[in-house]
Amino acid sequence: MRAFTLHRYGAGVPLQLVDLATPQVGAHDVLVEVHAAGVNLLDSKLRAGEFKLLLPYPLPLTLGHDLAGLVVAVGAEVRRFAPGDAVYGRARDHRIGSFAEQISVHEDDLALKPVNLSMVEAASLPLVALTAWQALVERGRLSRGQRVFIQAGAGGVGSIAIQLAKHLGASVATTASAAGASMVQGLGAGLIVDYQREDFEARLHGYDLVLHSQDDKTLQKSLRVLRPGGQLVSISGPPDPAFAHEIGASWLLRLILSLLSWATRRRARGLGVLFSFLFMKASGDQLRQITALVEAGVIRPVVDRVFPFAETNAALSYVEAGRAKGKVVIQVR
């Protein structure tokens, strides 16, 4: 099979198109013929080597976390899927590799594809929808009547998080450019701050939850828009001790991560608010709940551009440029 692989870390290092053997299928694995693969900023950061401490992948490495396709074969213990099923999912860490014609995925990371979505639309959802679910539902426990500030509403995570928060009954504020304002309003945002002309801290006060995805300066300002007891969930860092414990980090890595987030945690305590770092996890169970919302018309994918498989490197470059509204997808088949 053909796959795009990384042979050395570095920003902008092109992936190489190579021929690889068909992936092995364990007892609980599902072999999927990839029809489409979502492209995420996480793929770019892995390529640049930004996660070498947290995710020490050996090279060469096939990138790609999101996938949609058809089941080719299943392991001896798999009961939920059968050859011919249309599925989608986010391959778990250390099992990634959807920038390829086939991938072997643990059955717990997959769900049946929503019947009302194409393969391309389905491939755009897993990582960003799971991130939104884990930040707003699992971690943030967002409920009706609360107010949430979702940064970068036109982005991949933001565009899905706005729809989910609206479904949960929350009032949504977000940041967007003037060009993206109508898009995020259509997704359900009630208060839109033009980040090119306005300071969101001047307009937002007393929020229950912030979904943070930007830089450290924005993080510090976001802590101040929360009400006492409010919570900020960050998907862009800094990692905290709870995350270090979650991944079973060594004592040295635990110390490093604790130091990286010490100042932020101290500021949060001083303001009487909560800070936590979220590194989303693959979950077929949560995807099935998301599928129900997609099929009910509550959540719709937002796809910016579709690249052919041969232009995988161009797709990564486009994502890195930060211009995408919604998701970028590679059409593999």
Q: Which CATH superfamily is domain 2-125+301-331 in?
A: Medium-chain alcohol dehydrogenases, catalytic domain (3.90.180.10)
| pLDDT recorded at residue 52 | 86
| pLDDT recorded at residue 303 | 97
Cα 266 to Cα 209, 269, 272: the distances in Å are: 18, 5, 10
Q: Which residues pair with 37 in a beta bridge?
A: 330
pLDDT, mean of each 10-residue run, the chain (333 residues): 97 96 97 98 94 89 98 98 98 97 98 98 98 98 98 96 98 95 96 95 97 96 98 95 88 90 96 97 98 98 98 96 92 96
| pLDDT recorded at residue 56 | 87
- Give CA angle at 158 (286, 262), nearest 5°: 85
| pLDDT recorded at residue 245 | 87
pTM exceeds 0.85 for this model: yes
Helix (H) or strand (E) holding 315: helix 312-320
Q: Where are the domains of the chain?
A: 2-125+301-331, 128-277
Helix (H) or strand (E) holding 73: strand 66-74
User: Residue 212 and residue 276: Cα distance in Å, rounded?
Assistant: 10
Q: Which CATH superfamily is domain 128-277 in?
A: NAD(P)-binding Rossmann-like Domain (3.40.50.720)
